Amino acid sequence: MTDVTLYHWEPNANSGKPMLALMEKGVPFASHYIDMLQFDQHKPEYLAINPQGTIPAMTHRGAWGSRVLTESTAIMEYVNAAFAGPDLMPADAQDRWRVRWWMKFMDQWLGPSFSMIGWSVFVGPRVRERDPEELAAAIERIPLPERRRAWKKAINGDFSAEEMAESRRRVALGVAKLEEELGKRDYVGSDAYSLADINIFNSTYSLPLSQPDLASKDKTPNIMRWLKRVYEREAVRKTWAMGKTDMAARYSLVMEGII
């Protein structure tokens, strides 16, 4: 029996962060797959754990009873601090600041733009075909009003040309800045593998496939070198093996492209 249970979707974006952090630390955990495309995250069983209805969430049982943790980046920091295993934060104070800066840049500036694009080209189309009444009921169950709006837009294909253009601008600029950063240091924010790499890898691992115009051997050699290094980590392979959709198949495709 394990003390840790992780509620997650695919090893991707926010769900992938605590999955990979736990795997790197060697912390055994019970995996509870939440199928985002079936709206599992808005069902009463899950809302009892995270009333916000977003994934991931983690529970940790111990002498204190059972704790619920949310927010993928903050969960990673907790995992790093609460468990033995390799330290996933650098020791130097300025490096630590940089690691946190990059994670915020991803979580609050670049990531939402990736999400908007992902939801409009991937999530929306996959969900759209379902029975309209069923979908309307599913949207009704979403607790956060801003998410209800985002889901409606994704399902109806209602993201405006303006907001999509802004998201594309941010993705292109963010990728260019990441390329610059990885030209200065071996990893994101420091010379050692850290939570910032886990964070950013989970949103950029498929760029060479999905956005070859932005990330490729010629255009972004530093990103490609870094992706390859991270891909080769055992924890990444193990985490990717937990995927259930064809997203996980991208792993081998990207690897082929990189090597």
Partner 1 sequence: MGAVLYHGEPNGASLTVLAALAESGLDIPCRPIALLAGARHSLPGIAEPIALDLGIEGEGPVLVAGGEAMTESVFLAQYLDELAGGCGLQPDDAYAHWEMLMWCRQITERLSPAAALLGNLASSQAAIAAIPADDFAALTAAIVSDDLRARWQALHDGTIDAAQVADSEAKVDQTAQRCEDKLADGRDFLMGDFSIADLVTYSWLAGMEPIRPAAFAERPRTRAWLARVAVRPCILAAMAMASTPEPLKTWAPGPEINRWG
Query: CA–CA separation, 93 vs 107, rounded Å?
Result: 21
**Which bin fits 157, alpha (ψ -120 to 50), beta or left (φ > 0)?**
left
Within 13 Å of residue 167, how many CA atoms lie on the same side as its CB?
17
Element (H, E) at 136: helix 132-140
Please work out the total of residues on this chain that contact ligand GSH, with binding judged by CB under 6 A.
14
Cβ distance to partner 1 smaller for residue 97 or 136? 97
| Cβ pair 75, 18 in contact under 8 A | yes
3-state SS class at 106: helix
181 binds partner 1 (CB under 8 A): yes
E strand map for the chain = 4-8, 30-33, 57-62, 65-70
CA distance 138 to 155: 11
Q: 208 with 224: CB under 8 angstroms?
A: yes
Q: Does 78 bind partner 1 (CB under 8 A)?
A: yes
Cβ atoms 209, 217 nearer than 8 A? no
The partner in contact with residue 36, picked from partner 1, ligand GSH, none with C-beta cut-offs of 5 to 8 angstroms by kind, is ligand GSH
> Among 19, 21, 27, 55, which residue interacts with ligand GSH (rule: CB under 6 A)?
55
If contact means CB under 5 to 8 A according to the sort of partner, which of ligand GSH, partner 1, none does residue 3 touch? Answer: none
Q: Which does 72 bind (CB under 5 to 8 A by kind): partner 1, ligand GSH, none?
A: ligand GSH
Asked if 14 is part of the footprint of ligand GSH (rule: CB under 6 A), the reply reads: yes
131 binds, among ligand GSH, partner 1, none (CB under 5 to 8 A by kind): none
- Does residue 54 bind ligand GSH (CB under 6 A)? yes
Site for partner 1 in 211-250 (CB under 8 A): none
Q: Which is nearer to ligand GSH, 15 or 220 (CB)?
A: 15
- Judged by beta carbon, residue 34 or residue 175, the one nearer ligand GSH is 34
- Interface positions with ligand GSH (CB under 6 A): 13-15, 36, 41, 53-56, 71-73, 107, 147
